[in-house]
Amino acid sequence: MPSTDDPKNSKPPVNSRDRNDPSFESMGMDELLQMYDEKMSKFKEGDIIRGRILKITATEALGDIGYKSEGLLPSAEITGYNGEIKGKPGDEIEIYIDRLEDPSGHVILSREKAERMLVWDRIEAAYRDNEPVTGRVIDRVKGGLAVDVGVKAFLPGSLIDIKPVKNLDAMKGKEYAFKVVSFDKKRNNVVLSRRAIVEVEQQGRKKDTFERLEEGKLTHGVVKNITDYGVFVDLGGVDGLLHITDISWGRVNHPSEFFNIGDEIEVMVLKFDPAAERVSLGYKQRTPDPWLDVVINEFDTRTFEQHLDHRRAASTASIELDGAHAPSAATAGRSIMATKRSNR
């Protein structure tokens, strides 16, 4: 159970006066008894007081709250989920006074009841101030998860994450931050949301990502999803689209020929819009267009002119070498290569 120690919500231990105080020597028996009675009267059943652990055994712990006798509380109440004792002799903790004296003369204390009383103050404050609370997932229940935040709370399945969680059992035993959606102390009911926390964290990551993006610059991301028309890449809270036409300078039948989900890849930022939260990415742009080298290295000017004449005669393209409609080198290079293959 998460710690609920808060000195502001509990009474300090009632300490006796220093026995070495010289004023004791001048006090009579009646005065001493009166002082003792006044001190003992400050202890009341139902109070939460700060006490000190004196000893821990397999079944119980001995605590000192400044009363005339030591108090006992079950050791299970200071034991964690993993069976480890959460405390040691000398530690101070919040303790609930259940009974001032049992048949054996001990004070009966409860750490668990103190936590339950204090936790509602924390839950109410977190709800009022819109602050997160920390809790541990303890079980899978109908419609969601049971979470321990000092009291048993409910986390609906729709409020677990921004995307569906396939394996809820994997969350058991783990601690997370949650937002208090609603609570009812009388009915012992608390409803939480982890999705609200994740959304805030994601907005922070998006802001940081857009601040570092630059058009024409390289960045890294992780392949998140693959479709027929392209690849979605997680850049850090922002998904960028790598269109199939920007994957390779050659032919691409399907993006899965180049990538797998989970791959970390380097891409170029072609353009982005923070307002629309859109990012266009390029993969082939990391290297120069190879068709430019084809035009320069494999064909001389005469071959190039002959090819253009052939294309003009066939009426498949309108090309004027001296005019404003001349094709780019890359386009011409692709056409030349296609003609060369057809002539073989």
In this predicted structure, which of 27-36, 166-175, 238-247 has the lowest mean pLDDT? 27-36
Same domain? For 297 and 319 the reply is yes
Report how many domains make up the chain: 4
Q: Which of 115, 150, 178 is the last residue of a domain?
A: 115
Query: pLDDT tens for residues 78-120?
Result: 766 566 677 778 887 778 787 777 767 777 777 777 777 788 8
Confidence tier at 165 by pLDDT (50, 70, 90):
confident
Q: Which of 198, 231, 255 is the last residue of a domain?
A: 198
In this predicted structure, which of 36-45, 175-184, 190-199, 309-318 has the lowest mean pLDDT? 309-318
Higher pLDDT, 149 or 290: 149
> DSSP string of 143-175?
TEEEEESSSEEEEEGGGS-SS--S-GGGGTT-E
Same domain? For 13 and 108 the reply is yes
pLDDT at 317 exceeding the cut of 80 = no
Q: Look at residue 37 and tell me if it is in a domain.
A: yes
Same domain? For 280 and 238 the reply is yes
Determine contact, residues 78/56, Cβ cutoff 8 Å: yes
Pairing of strands 218-226, 189-193: unpaired
Question: Any residues with CB less than 8 A from the CB of 195 and at least 6 apart, and which?
Answer: 158, 159, 160, 161, 162
Q: Look at residue 206 and tell me if it is in a domain.
A: no
Q: What one-letter code names the amino acid at 310?
A: H
Q: Which pTM does this prediction carry?
A: 0.53
Q: Look at residue 56 and tell me if it is in a domain.
A: yes
Overall average pLDDT of the 323-343 stretch: 49
Same domain? For 193 and 252 the reply is no
Element of type H or E holding 267: strand 264-273
Same domain? For 151 and 217 the reply is no
Mean pLDDT of the chain: 77
Q: Which of 54, 89, 115 is the last residue of a domain?
A: 115
Same domain? For 20 and 108 the reply is yes
Same domain? For 51 and 89 the reply is yes
Same domain? For 110 and 136 the reply is no
Higher pLDDT, 103 or 234: 234
Query: pLDDT tens for residues 174-195?
Result: 999 999 999 998 888 999 999 9
Same domain? For 37 and 111 the reply is yes
Same domain? For 27 and 108 the reply is yes
Same domain? For 237 and 268 the reply is yes
Q: Look at residue 203 and tell me if it is in a domain.
A: no
Query: pLDDT tens for residues 263-285?
Result: 999 999 999 999 888 999 999 99
Q: Look at residue 69 and tell me if it is in a domain.
A: yes
Confidence tier at 141 by pLDDT (50, 70, 90):
very high
Overall average pLDDT of the 30-52 stretch: 66
Which is it for the CA torsion 233, 236, 240, 245, positive or negative?
negative
Q: Look at residue 121 and tell me if it is in a domain.
A: no
Q: Residue 237: its pLDDT value, please?
A: 84
* Rg of the Cα atoms in the chain: 37
Determine contact, residues 239/291, Cβ cutoff 8 Å: no
Confidence tier at 325 by pLDDT (50, 70, 90):
very low
Q: Look at residue 123 and tell me if it is in a domain.
A: no
Same domain? For 42 and 89 the reply is yes
The parent domain of residue 193 ranges over 132-198
Strand-pair partners of 267: 219
CA–CA dist 105, 184 (Å, integer): 38
Overall average pLDDT of the 299-325 stretch: 52
CATH of residue 254's domain is: 2.40.50.140
Identify which of 19, 11, 60, 59 has the alpha carbon closest to the alpha carbon of residue 36: 19
Lookup result for tokens 């079950």: 74
> Which of 3-7, 29-33, 39-43, 260-264: highest mean pLDDT?
260-264
Question: Any residues with CB less than 8 A from the CB of 165 and at least 6 apart, and which?
Answer: 157, 171
Q: Look at residue 30 and tell me if it is in a domain.
A: yes
pLDDT at 22 exceeding the cut of 70 = no
